[in-house]
Structure 1
Amino acid sequence: MLLPLLGISQNLVPDDNVPGVMISQGYNIELGIDGLNYPSNITVGNGKIWVTEAGFPGVDPTVKEVTLNGATPGMATVILTPAMLPPGMLMPPFTDITFKDGLIWISHRQVGANDWLLGAVSHFDPADPAGTFQTVIANLPSAGDHQTNTIAFAPNGRGYVSIGSATNSGVVGADNVPKWVEDAPGFRDIAPVDITFAPNGFTALVPTSLDPDSNAVTAAYRAFDTGEETSEYVVAAATPTNPQDGIIAGVGSVYSFNPSAADVAGSLVLECWGFRNPFGIAFDASDSSRLFISNNGSDIRGQAGDPNDPLNPDTYVIQGNRPISNDYDDMFEITVGGDVEFFGWPDYFHDPVTKEPLSVADAMFCNSPVLDSTDCAEPLFAQSFANSLNVKDAFATVGQFVSVTGFAPSTSAQFGFENNLFVTESGSFAPQTGAFTFTGYKVSRFDHITGEKSDFVVNSGSTADELFVPEKMNKPVSTIFMGDTLLIVDLGVLEPGLDIYESNTGKVWMVTTLSVGIDELSAENKNQLSQLMPSPANTEATINLNMDSPSEVTLTLLDECGRIVKNLYNGKRGVGTSTYIIPTSVLASGIYMVRSITEKGASMRKLIVVH
């Protein structure tokens, strides 16, 4: 079976600032800050910028306030860690951070019902994080593979939060035991609606610490090793008024809530379900009735059989009870305020070409060199329940094994592509996903009307040695627009399936356009360039840099593709206006950009040279 290659990349050019990175022509990428430990998300507000560091074994999670200088890597100051709060209140991973009405909202885990690490939504005043920290939604179903993910606020103020599934495809298996079953033995996928299942039971494929003889049998949405179900059975929905084992919401879903309610958790309303891992959510910048959702497709789930040749499918060991192949990562959309919508998981996935739903029993989802007919999945839902469902189409196909994560719409006419979605693809997580090549490691642009995909910023490597260079963009996980600048959060050098971990390699990248002037990088930047005079220029041009505070200054002449033509100045400047004369007689006719970078941000002006 031939599967489609997705995305348009004919307008990419090499970036001079970041070797090994390709970028859409007419744009420039540069490092805003480095040295972060696995950053997961970013937010801006009141002239400030904050990032979350997710937290990995041996590396504590944090919230940091950062500055993005451009001339030199920015600064980061820790404002919140778990140690600043009572034990168990703030636990990793920190998945999202969002600024709203003077408060920072964060999605994370904390010790909850049954002493499990469960999902939570909290907020705090950035002026006093520990003193004002308050959890407003707790006991979300995030003790498993995936987390409580992104928080977004509609223009009317209502909040939305996405929640991932506990498992890869609806059944707790040997792949889950070392990750979380040992710590939360009764946890499993929690239903967001009442679901009727057909009889089923899956025997573990490999031995584990809890099942050394690999004979544990587990049914869908049941705890590990609790036996098969021999007749149809109903799993009740978890709600704030009818919690299941203390858990108040279901997996693979998006809920809305009233952030001003006296009982925020009690205001939860299910908006949609049927996702494996709905990582990112964001509203259409031109139509707030549309909410976009990025979703990670189901995998095969296994591990390398030969650590010296980890990408060899011939030695691959399947661990998951219900392997799924070719469930592409997708973008979905819902109508805000409409009926509850269903998108298929764990029984329906989507054709990557037509975007229409297909049954898990379709041969496409068993097409892999490591699967045979005995591995092919069958539906879990009872037929009567399946017949009652209306499975929605995908809005756009992202790609296979690309790990689509966070995204943001362009809100800048100067940056261009207004309202289009700039979507991160953090990479294949080979080989445990069943991927044996590297895919993703890019930021893609999606037309918000048609769903057409185009590559925008790409790590051009094709091997681990080429991809995981600390100076490159490695694993982009989220984006945000700050004025006319696109900020990209880069998790850093990380590929767990290949045992690649390198701390302090996380970064934030800044992308700007070269076709228009850019007056602000930070919300408080007042160190700006004047218009060039004359422009068009023939023999020389003059430009002023207006400084409201002393700073190191880098002044550079760039061509229209962002390549450095000449370094005009590099040094310290005080308050006031500095004038620079740019000889243009030696330049070829064309479009150039003059860029200044100071400790407060960047400013850029277009120069036209005509002979």
Structure 2
Amino acid sequence: MKKNYLLFILLIFSGGCYSILPSKGGGQIDTNTSTRPIVASDIALPTGYTIEAVATGLTFPTGVAFDEQGQVYVVEAGYSYGEEFLEPRLLRVEQNRNLSTIATGQKNGPWTGVTFLNGNFYVAEGGQINGGKLLRISKSGDIAALIDNLPSLGDHHTNGPVPGPDGNLYFGLGTATNSGVVGPDNYNFGWLKRHPEFHDIPCQDITLTGQNYSSDIPLENKPGQQQTGAYSPYGSTTTQGQVIKGKIPCSGAVLRVTPEGKSMELVAWGFRNPFGLAFSPGGVLYVSDNGFDVRGSRPVWGTGDYLWQVQQGQWYGWPDYSGGLAFNGDRFGPPSKKAPQPLLAQHPNKPPKPAAVLGVHSSSNGLDFSRSSSFGYQGEAFIAQFGDMAPDVGKVLAPVGYKVVRVNVETGVVTDFVANKGKKTAPASKLKSGGLERPVSVKFSPDGQSLYIVDFGVIEMTEDGPAPKHKTGVIWKVTKTEAKP
């Protein structure tokens, strides 16, 4: 009895300490400069590998691709959290490391990824202003929208695309909200002011429990306290047993289309933000999924990011599960706050377990597989961890992410591969060094000999939200120089 009482007191004390301790995220820095030192020797790698910067001075880069000659191309997003809107660009990295503009898009970013297939580039346009798109860009710079009006006007975007072994293009659609309910955090993101009727869309018919949440947001058409239910516009209530009709395209899903943008099909759903997509050497699709944040009307605490092996037709748990675990108790309740309750009265299926669990708030994003024994770790997934956006996503007591990890998808074991030198893993701006800042994606060269890391650049987390710094993005290249010991 005494032992249990002491444990109870310890748990209360631990929760209380957490709630009063300050957040110490990697972006909580004080920088008044937009310049960034680039020092490759400040980065730690396994023995036998080297790293170099092959392109610098980029603004919000998010992906790299290679044409049939192995020439390197990079996309600049044209948008960053913090409501920073620019024109997205597709750039060629020349042999002298200068950058040549191939195509310039509209202010409807972010461009979140790029792939090269059959002589054309395919780019996912996030869709913050006019909805998501899948673009085809010729090598001469002509842009055509294969798909438009995708439902990605909210927190998360249209992601990918990647070519599949079946010849189709696979891409992801993130959710509009953190956890299924439109609330004050979405107003702070900016999109709720532009699109007050936008909300999450299920991929098939769902039945709700009727949970509603109260909030007060200064929208002109809906002033004062409002009640809002799941999968509904802000200020719209739901009832127990209410059915929300599903449709395609939908939120939190992976879909596929032909390279001509035809025959859209649902692959799987129940993701929160399926950012990174890649096929293993064996042709199996894997997706990196950003976990819940501690924000909004329905905050969720302590959930990691996940790597999923994707199975056709499966539902992966959002908004009522995390990593295969149900919201059926206090497990995911923020300290001193109510735990999230289920939004769905019935679930499409019991979600599978993830292939790997990644760091809480690590923002584990773009991924690729090693296919070369000469590079090493053949068959393992390499994942770029953008790093926490604390305190906006929730409190962290030390920086999380800001590195590249490798994952044995058979065992789920996660190992650091590239990170900054120092006593703690953190962005270079916080360490006052010249190493990695925010890795957002990775891509192996066509010959498999080198790993390219897309480093988004510096983002300072201020009292007013994210403050991204222009011309601080970098493309790094990792090469193996000697046999693995």
TM norm structure 2: 0.85
Aligned residue in 1 for 2:269: 273
AA in 1 matched with 2:409 = H
Unaligned 5+ segments in structure 2 are 1-10, 16-37
AA in 2 matched with 1:118 = G
CA gap of 1:167–1:210, structure 2 versus 1, over 3 A, is farther
Cα distance between partner residues in 2 of 1:467 and 1:212: 41
CA deviations on 1:38-86 (whole Å, 9 max, x unpaired) are 10111001222211101132543211111365xxxx111111113xxxx
Query: Structure 1 residue 23: deviation in Å?
Result: 1.3
- 1:23-422 equivalences under 5 Å are 23-47=45-69, 48-56=71-79, 57=84, 59-67=86-94, 74-82=97-105, 91-109=108-126, 117-127=130-140, 129-130=141-142, 133-178=143-188, 179-204=190-215, 207-210=217-220, 215-226=225-236, 228-239=237-248, 249-260=249-260, 264-265=261-262, 267-285=263-281, 287-288=282-283, 290-301=284-295, 320-335=296-311, 338=312, 340-350=313-323, 357-366=324-333, 368=334, 371-373=335-337, 375-382=338-345, 385-386=346-347, 388-422=348-382
Query: Structure 1 residue 231: deviation in Å?
Result: 3.0
Cα distance between partner residues in 1 of 2:166 and 2:365: 25
Cα distance between partner residues in 1 of 2:432 and 2:112: 24
Please say if residues 460 and 467 of structure 1, whose CA atoms lie closer than 8 Å, have aligned partners that are also in contact: no
CA gap of 1:284–1:349, structure 2 versus 1, over 3 A, is same
Please say if residues 103 and 124 of structure 1, whose CA atoms lie closer than 8 Å, have aligned partners that are also in contact: yes
Larger Rg: 1
Number of equivalent positions: 438
Please say if residues 405 and 478 of structure 1, whose CA atoms lie closer than 8 Å, have aligned partners that are also in contact: yes
Aligned residue in 2 for 1:472: 435
**SS of match in other structure, 1:138:** strand
Cα distance between partner residues in 2 of 1:253 and 1:445: 24
CA deviations on 1:99-138 (whole Å, 9 max, x unpaired) are 0010100110459xxxx621110102112x13xx211111
CA gap of 1:427–1:460, structure 2 versus 1, over 3 A, is farther
Cα distance between partner residues in 2 of 1:464 and 1:406: 18
Please say if residues 150 and 161 of structure 1, whose CA atoms lie closer than 8 Å, have aligned partners that are also in contact: yes
CA deviations on 1:458-515 (whole Å, 9 max, x unpaired) are 1246567753758321000111111201100000111445644321110000101121
Please say if residues 66 and 76 of structure 1, whose CA atoms lie closer than 8 Å, have aligned partners that are also in contact: yes
Cα distance between partner residues in 1 of 2:362 and 2:221: 32
**SS of match in other structure, 2:343:** coil
**SS of match in other structure, 1:135:** strand
Cα distance between partner residues in 1 of 2:120 and 2:392: 38
**SS of match in other structure, 1:480:** strand
**1:502 paired to 2:459:** no
Cα distance between partner residues in 2 of 1:199 and 1:406: 36
Please say if residues 470 and 492 of structure 1, whose CA atoms lie closer than 8 Å, have aligned partners that are also in contact: no
Identity of aligned residues (%): 31
Cα distance between partner residues in 1 of 2:258 and 2:223: 49
Query: Structure 1 residue 214: deviation in Å?
Result: 5.0
CA deviations on 1:442-470 (whole Å, 9 max, x unpaired) are 00011132221110001246567753758
Cα distance between partner residues in 2 of 1:157 and 1:81: 27
Alignment counterpart, residue 479 of structure 2, candidates 482, 502, 512: 512
CA deviations on 1:333-371 (whole Å, 9 max, x unpaired) are 024xx4x01110100112xxxxxx2112332211x4xx3
Q: CA RMSD in A?
A: 2.4
**SS of match in other structure, 1:216:** strand
Please say if residues 285 and 309 of structure 2, whose CA atoms lie closer than 8 Å, have aligned partners that are also in contact: yes
Please say if residues 133 and 158 of structure 2, whose CA atoms lie closer than 8 Å, have aligned partners that are also in contact: yes
Query: Structure 1 residue 326: deviation in Å?
Result: 0.8
**SS of match in other structure, 1:479:** strand
**SS of match in other structure, 1:281:** strand
Cα distance between partner residues in 2 of 1:423 and 1:464: 16
**SS of match in other structure, 2:191:** helix
Cα distance between partner residues in 2 of 1:398 and 1:391: 17
Cα distance between partner residues in 1 of 2:222 and 2:460: 28
AA in 1 matched with 2:454 = V
Cα distance between partner residues in 1 of 2:307 and 2:406: 12
Unaligned 5+ segments in structure 1 are 4-15, 83-87, 240-248, 302-319, 351-356, 517-559, 562-611
